[in-house]
Amino acid sequence: MRINPLRSQRFGALLLGAASVLAFAPAGAFPLLWLTLGLLFELLCRTVEQARGARRGALLGGAFGFGFFLAGVSWIHVSLSVFGGMPAPVAGLATLLFCGVLALYPALVGAVFVRFAPAGMLSRAVFFAALWMLAEWLRGWLFTGFPWLAAGYAQAPPSPLAGYAPLFGVYGVSLFTALLGALGCLWLRRWFAATACPPVHGWRASPVLPVLIVGGLLAIGGGLREVRWTEPQGEPLTVALLQGNIPQDLKWRPELFADSLRIYHHLALAHPARLTVLPETALPAFLERVPGDYLAAMKALALREQGDLLLGVAVGEEGDYMNAAVSLGASPEQRYAKSHLVPFGEFVPAGFGWFMAMARIPMSDFTPGRADQPPLKIAGQRVAVNICYEDAFGEEIARALPEAGLLVNLSNVAWFGDSLAPAQHLQIAQLRALESGRVMLRATNTGMTAIVDADGRVRSTLPPFTRGALTGEVRAHAGSTPYVRWGNAPAVLGALLLTLLLARRRG
């Protein structure tokens, strides 16, 4: 039986994409992504050398992307079917379509690479890395953005590449990740004769150069991890991050509303701190409908510590409500309203009302808050609050900096059950801490509640699907990283310039 080479290559790319997910949390095998991206680069280089055309490159990149996202964000099916009430076959089809759309970005990389690849192999490696980064940035921006599983997230500490995050952000780290993979492929070409392709532009004459570049990138990244771009300021602050562990399928039942209130009051009472943080929509009701004596009791707990309590709750009325965090305590009451909403989960895109009619998702039509909300002045600190999915957007987090000394994220990833999503989300928080040079406090309903230090290391976490409080002392930080000052612009403009220059160097 004759094997179709194109089909076998596509299948190989699909498997490479699926295996890449192991580089991210919870497995955390971060060097694996260097290998899988390097092998994708090799497949694309062979396509160029065999003059197969951009369509072949698109198919290879798309196959890689489809395997990657199908393995990495399959938890979308859990939210739609298990907790969203959508029929399982429809939820499965929706998940496949979603992954197919996301796969278009790697497909674009493959097509453009094959069509415009420069002649020199080192130039090709840089060209591939820049294209990969630009496609990730585009995915994180277009149609409100879905930056989940950008390659740079896999390089959270302990990866040496994490050192580049305070300078260039997660997308810059993605570029270096793809570049390491491509350069590793060049080394394999020389020493293991992985392909029958002839040497290109004197590559065989300088086999050590990719190794030197890889070593330099890793050494510089490791050295940058020791640089402290911001400095602690003020006295240590006691914090308590509450994890109620209320199942998503029970959370919104009216008969269990009083139980939710009791759970969080008990946790706050048992774990006093100057700053207490409850998760996103911890109180499953509009703030205006929460009993006044309950809010007074929670405020009294904060006043005992001369501090503040930050709780997640919807504010407003039916038809015009926001996903918010509200402070109670010694400081005047303040609010932060989530500004970057999740399509289909928190607002209905135009023309998709029919889709939402098949799901039963409570609170799925929020009104966004303003983009320019100032940090909250609570517990003697200026705190940049973000809610759930918002921490996936680095430039949006940086809006409140350098004024804010702490980052606080309120999340409810119970929507995704016991899946990869909670661990992946914590890894996103690690990059936000690195980019900003700030401690990130995460209070979640079912996990992963955590304290992430300003160097991106996870100091402590609560076990997922347990009820409790994570307590500790943290300090605010002052100053700005280069990323806070310049955002994604240096990485994006640099990658764009590289692609334009190298595309002109075709053989």
Residues forming a β-bridge with 325? 312, 336
> One of 45, 99, 185, 388 is an active-site residue; which one?
388
Answer yes or no: are the C-beta atoms of 200 and 119 closer than 8 Å: yes
- Active-site residue, 280 included: yes
- Distance from C-alpha of 271 to C-alpha of 309, rounded to nearest angstrom: 12
CB 451 within 8 A of CB 133: no
Please give the Cα distance from 329 to 275 (Å, whole number). Answer: 9
Q: Give the active site residue among 42, 305, 338, 346.
A: 338
Structure-block tokens of residue 459:
């100091």
CA distance 332 to 321: 22
Secondary structure element (H or E) that encloses residue 80, with its range: none
Report how far residue 169's alpha carbon sits from residue 167's, in angstroms, rounded to the nearest whole number.
Answer: 6
Q: Is 388 a catalytic residue?
A: yes
Give exposure, 7-45, as e/b (b: 16+ Cβ within 10 Å): eebbebbbbbbbbbbbbbbeeeebebbbbbbbbbbbbbb
In sequence order, what DSSP letters do the residues of 187-199 get, joined into one string?
HHHHHH----PPP
CB 106 within 8 A of CB 138: no
Strand partners, 335: 326
Do residues 301 and 271 lie in contact, with contact meaning Cβ atoms separated by under 8 Å? no
The structure tokens listed for 268 are 């706050």
User: Residue 428 and residue 439: Cα distance in Å, rounded?
Assistant: 13
CA angle, 458 as apex, 453 and 459 as ends, to 5°?
Answer: 75
DSSP string of 405-421, one letter each residue: SEEEEEE-GGGG-SSSH
Asked whether 272 and 306 are in contact (CB, 8 A), the reply is: no
Q: How far is CA 483 from the centre of its chain?
A: 16
Q: How deeply is 407 buried, as exposed, middle or buried, from its count of CB atoms within 10 A (0-12, 13-18, 19+)?
A: buried
338 is a catalytic site residue: yes
Q: Give the position of tokens 């149609």.
A: 143
The residue whose two tokens read 């280089």 is 45
Q: Alpha-carbon distance 415 to 406, whole Å? A: 27
Q: Which of 42, 136, 280, 435 is catalytic?
A: 280
H/E element holding 396? helix 394-397
Give the active site residues: 280, 338, 388
